[in-house]
Amino acid sequence: MVMNIKLFTGAFLSLAGIFLSVLGLLFIIAATGLQSRIIAGIALCAGGALFLITGARLFVRGLALTPAGIRAGILRLARLGNGEITRDVITANLGDSAAVRFQIEQMVIHGLAEKRTEGARELYVFSDFQAGLQVKQCPYCGNDYPVREDIESCPSCGGDLKMKNQRGGGDDIFSMDN
């Protein structure tokens, strides 16, 4: 409901701002040296600009409350948190509305995020935003080789090496020693 009010009010104020600005420009163009028309035109342009800026800001805030806006906000927070965000971070940035809770639960249901509980806090892990490591792996014996080595077949069994992305997270530790 709040989303609809912000969208409607923002759109109305933006349109009113455009109308007042155009009217002000017409007053200035038609002034023909009359100072009162120039002053009225400048006042209309200033009022129109104020309405337009206020309306645009309200409209953008209303868009952030739509399901797509909430989803984009959660994904932005996950990207900033290297793939891990807590319920507290989501609440602090997007609020604790039913729409926000619904969107995060939908992300968990569809496999975009994994819900974990660490102590008393809820943690959401987005593996797509976590750091990863790319290796060459043999599909037959499973041996991994660094990408920088110029080999195309497995030295152990002779199988063709395939590129594979390995994601971090959990207890996985990536190091340069392997």
pLDDT tens string 102-115: 999 999 999 889 99
pLDDT tens string 32-60: 888 999 999 999 999 999 999 999 999 99
pTM over 0.85: no
Residue 82 has pLDDT above 80, yes or no: yes
Task: Tell me whether residue 159 is exposed, middle or buried, using C-beta atoms within 10 angstroms of its C-beta: 0 to 12, 13 to 18, 19 or more.
Answer: middle
**So what's the pLDDT on residue 151?**
85
Tell me the C-alpha to C-alpha distance, in Å, between residue 101 and each of 44, 66, 87, 105, 129: 44, 13, 9, 6, 20
pLDDT tens string 17-33: 999 999 999 999 998 88
**So what's the pLDDT on residue 167?**
58
